[in-house]
Structure formats: C-alpha cells, structure tokens
C-alpha cells in the first residue's frame, strides 16, 4: 500500500543540562535545536494533496514556540527524568500525534538535532 510522507521542521534555541552524563551532572549549556517531523497520509484529499504543508508547519511551530529561550531542565515534562534529545522527541510526539491525526495524517517520526551534528530519531 502506498502512502504520502510529508516533512516539516523548526528551530529554536534553549538551554539544558543532563542530570547525569558519564556519571556526573552536566553544566547548563545552550544549543540551537532543530526538530523535524514526518507525517503520513494514505490518500490525497479532494484538492489533490495529502496534508496541508502550512498546517503541519503551524502545528510544529506551536509545539516548539514555548521552548524558545527556555531551560529544558526546568520544563515540567521534558526535564524529567533528564532533558535529553530523546526526551524532547518523546514529549513532542505526544503533543503532535493527536493534532496530526486531526489533520487526517499519522505522525511517523520525530527527529531532534542537539546542535548541528547530533541527531536522534524517534520512529512511531
């Protein structure tokens, strides 16, 4: 069965410090974070496209906007158990999945870059 996969990404700047890195707490530091999502749809709508690019970008922008210039270590959901890129991906997936379903799609992955070279992918 074929499906359409739609991509969106957003950037934000935020601080964090892992609760334990190689056995010790990290010093707080700032990154430019990038988040990319992939959503799937099984069919095209009556207008000939699968999901609205603009709507998907808006959902992602709304999800990351509250994180801009925040300390992720203090975020009530991302900060526990530790504010890792993996935890950020989990929380964003929980926020975005139902909203993408409302658009008629399915969230299939969330990728988080911690700086320009370090990326984690959560595949759902």
Report pLDDT digits (tens) over 32-43: 999 999 999 999
Residue pLDDT, tens place only, 87-116: 999 999 999 999 999 999 999 999 999 999
- The Cα–Cα gap between 54 and 61 comes to 10
pLDDT at site 4: 96
> How far, in Å, CA of 16 to CA of 73, rounded?
5
**DSSP code for 77:** T
pLDDT value at position 2? 82
Q: Which domains does the chain have, with CATH numbers?
A: 4-123 (3.30.479.10)
pLDDT of residue 108: 98
Percent of residues, the chain, with pLDDT higher than 90: 98
Q: Are 64 and 96 in contact (CB under 8 A)?
A: no
* Degrees, nearest 5: CA angle 64-92-48: 85
**Mean pLDDT confidence for 31-55:** 95
In angstroms, the CA 45 to CA 77 distance is: 35
C-alpha 21: how far from chain center: 22
Is the pTM of the predicted complex or chain greater than 0.85? yes
């Amino acid at each position: 069965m074929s499906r359409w996969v739609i991509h969106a990404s957003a950037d934000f700047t935020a601080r964090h410090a892992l609760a334990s890195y190689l056995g010790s707490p990290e010093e707080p530091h700032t990154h430019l974070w990038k988040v990319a999502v992939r959503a799937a749809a099984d069919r095209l709508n009556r207008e000939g496209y699968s999901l609205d690019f603009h709507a998907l970008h808006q959902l992602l922008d709304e999800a990351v906007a509250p994180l801009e210039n925040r300390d992720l270590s203090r975020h009530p959901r991302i900060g526990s158990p530790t504010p890792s890129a993996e935890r950020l991906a989990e929380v964003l997936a929980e926020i975005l999945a139902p909203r993408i379903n409302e658009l008629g799609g399915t969230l299939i992955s969330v990728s988080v870059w911690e700086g320009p070279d370090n990326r984690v992918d959560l595949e759902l």
